[in-house]
Amino acid sequence: MRTAASLRPALLVLLAGVALAACARPATQVNAANAASAAAPGAVGEEARAHAFADTLRARLLAIAAFTEFPDDSCNPGTLRTFPKDTVEKARAGTDAIVERLERLVVAQGVEGSLDTPEAHDLLRTVVVWEAGGERPRWDVPAGGPDRRAIAPGLAGEFRNPATGKCESYVPVDTATVVLPPVTNFRAPEMEGVRLSVYVGEEGLKQARETFFKTVGATDASSIFTYTRVRAAVVWRDYAVVAVNRPAESRAVQELPAGAGGASYIFHRVGKEWRLLTIARSWG
């Protein structure tokens, strides 16, 4: 039984490159590009056909998907979307191919878009809260489908300690640092029980490093800076692709192999809520 596609470095680089390039464009330049595209003959019809195809790919994913329920030990394990009919041999030609086509379609159509929209900020807040161990997104399902929450990302989940009988975190975290692509006027979400720090862009990451090593590093020279970085985000109408990395760095700003991996997500917006369509790939 397959749970997610294997990591394809080339596609991840594509996602990061095009998203960061789009984020770096001034809003006026983005709007001008969108206006020019919309004015082009047939542009509206082409986008409508692309969106209809995206809906078709989504419907195909939902039709072949199932949910894997974890034992209910009251530690909120969440549910995992799986594709039980996949085999290693057929995955590339089946589910993997659908996911990759949808990813590329969203990126191609949304690369000129801005992340400084209410919908894009909502998406980033959804990802920030989820990655920081807060409320998890709902799984995208057909109309009238079951209401299920996703699994915890990375090491943010909990397990029941057999010795104490209590739910405990895999990695105890009371502070979470998240670095976003360049956005303006972003309102960071509030989280209960977690001191959440959100930074923006390369300058924000630099500030986060300096803050960490001036505080924690001042008393512990061997301290390791861990954070979540939204490496890329592309929003197109009611679809989005997000790539996340969870590095660990030493004082020398050297990325260590002991990070918590990363993941690539596809989201679909239903009403005012971004729902998780699939965890396209994850890596440790």
- Banded pLDDT at 1 (limits 50, 70, 90): very low
Distance CA 230, CA 224 (A): 19
Residue 72 has a pLDDT of 61
**Any domain includes 244:** yes
- What residues have CB less than 8 Å from 113, skipping those under 6 apart? 22, 30, 34, 120, 234, 235, 236
Structure tokens at 282: 């994850």
**Any domain includes 1:** no
* Residue 275 and residue 268 in contact, taking contact as beta carbons nearer than 8 Å: yes
Q: Are strands 262-270 and 248-249 parallel, antiparallel or unpaired?
A: unpaired
Residue 172 has a pLDDT of 57
- pLDDT, greater one: 92 or 179: 179
Residue 23 has a pLDDT of 41
| pLDDT tens-digit map of 92-118 | 568 889 999 999 999 999 999 999 999
Instruction: Say which residue the tokens 């079951």 belong to.
Output: 146
Side-chain-side CA neighbours of 266 within 13 Å: the count stands at 28
Domain count, the chain: 1
Mean pLDDT over 156-160 rounds to 63
pTM of this structure: 0.79
Q: Is the pLDDT of residue 229 over 80?
A: yes
**Any domain includes 160:** no
**Any domain includes 80:** yes
Distance CA 162, CA 196 (A): 30
**Any domain includes 188:** yes
| pLDDT tens-digit map of 195-209 | 899 999 999 999 999
Of 71-85, 91-105, 132-146, highest mean pLDDT: 132-146
Residue 129 has a pLDDT of 94
* Residue 256 and residue 227 in contact, taking contact as beta carbons nearer than 8 Å: no
Domain that holds residue 252: 9-153+171-283
**Any domain includes 165:** no
**Any domain includes 143:** yes
**Any domain includes 161:** no
